[in-house]
Structure 1
């Protein structure tokens, strides 16, 4: 580190001189006041003194103050050198890279060459990782750091040693790897996560079974329904006839009672008692016949209603039945064979005459 300090100290004096140069001041006049530049010079001068004394923490603090006032490339360079002396490798490398690209009092080519040499010393203690992927939308996660989109804007700087990296992408499996980085040896990786296997969609549910075919409740349901309806209609006519007959008999009985009472009185008080009693018996017989016809009409009416309604229901809900298939006829070959006669028997073979028999 002594060689580094001596070399850096020499360049520190150059930086201090560069800070005070009028040309640099004129370049910064547009954005920085002379008072700020003067304060930056003072802080940088104190930082150089601390740097010469080996007080690198103090020097770093003073150079940071100077940078806040006037961020020239030389001051940023000295921040990097101070960090390098403190063996803070990654901050030192970042500061020296910033000094190389700074446009505030930019470094000369000679200064840039020296910064690159010191930067290489810092990078010897830094692991460099660059990951690429052919999968669109891939992202990289290193250890617990936030995810970064691939391709990377710049390689990732990490401390040497083992690290865990995860490359992920939409609709792809995460690719996880354990890597080991060495200082000064960049590692290039190309990682393509595997596409997730999409499960086949479940087959559509089977269609619901068709409703069971309607069947007749009984064989020949339509015919039976029509017959029952016809019988019910016939019984209805019979009911009407029996009712009319019953009414006619009742009217006759009522009329006969009136005639009987006029001729024989209420209790056979007039006329011949025997004839009176005979007449009463006849009238009673006609009354019984009228009651019988009334009961018959009621029974016929109920039967007609039941048969008619049942027949109508059977007819309405009857399903057309397929006609019975005719029995298979004999094969045409068999039919033809039945009429074949033996030519050896002559024209009489068809009449059952045996060719071997005698007449």
Structure 2
């Protein structure tokens, strides 16, 4: 007899006529859902025979969510969404921040191998670092722990991979700036040892921009300021940044020179982190589809926990350009 197909939250959302986020809120018991909507979702659960498994079922143990740090607001956004989705599926999870000043990613994974961890979701982990070693993930996977990666890709690992399309992000940013009359456009990114930065640089050069229009520093405010200084000195009128944090650094550098944003310099960020709509000026930025990426990652992980093999191909997600006040016509 063929196995019954697992009902997913997206199936519930389709039948109930609501968003997947609403389904997650209902399943996790969170507030903010009308009683009528809640009943519709519960009816859909009954119709589809959806049942959450708890820690006492076959999904015992916890899922570890490994992130580089929590000080960068882009990563807590992923953590929050993953927590909502995992909790809704009846799966406990623990967050393992692997910052430079704390416990390393390797130390976390070595610890997890000795615990009852049922699965791992890695956000921007070592598979995104060309100089890093994936051996610790390989050992974890070989021990039978399903592992899913967000914004990191290593084809030699038996995991599932979900990434935001950096090439599309750069293309959308360039198109927007060109409609405003900008041709001297620069790219400010972190070290190209990291996959997202390298892909942005490749996409930028593919659009016909010279190599000297790319400034690689680090993904910090200071890094953005340094990169912007180089690009402004070279005559660029617009800067596309590899993160919102770098974009804030670029704006700081412009203002330190007495330049206005966007009057003298247009700036585009990446991530659409919380509060970017409330900066001065509001930041034009690329929004990663965090919810969709996390939903796909959790779905793949749950299928892996159920014994299904993970699809090792990388699934790329389309980003959205969010236009605010940090970009304007070339002066």
Fold shared, TM-score > 0.5 on shorter chain = no
Structure whose CA Rg is larger: 1
The alignment's TM-score, normalised by the length of structure 2, stands at 0.20
Q: Relative to total residues, which structure has the larger helix share, 1 or 2?
A: 1
The alignment's TM-score, normalised by the length of structure 1, stands at 0.19
Q: Relative to total residues, which structure has the larger strand share, 1 or 2?
A: 2
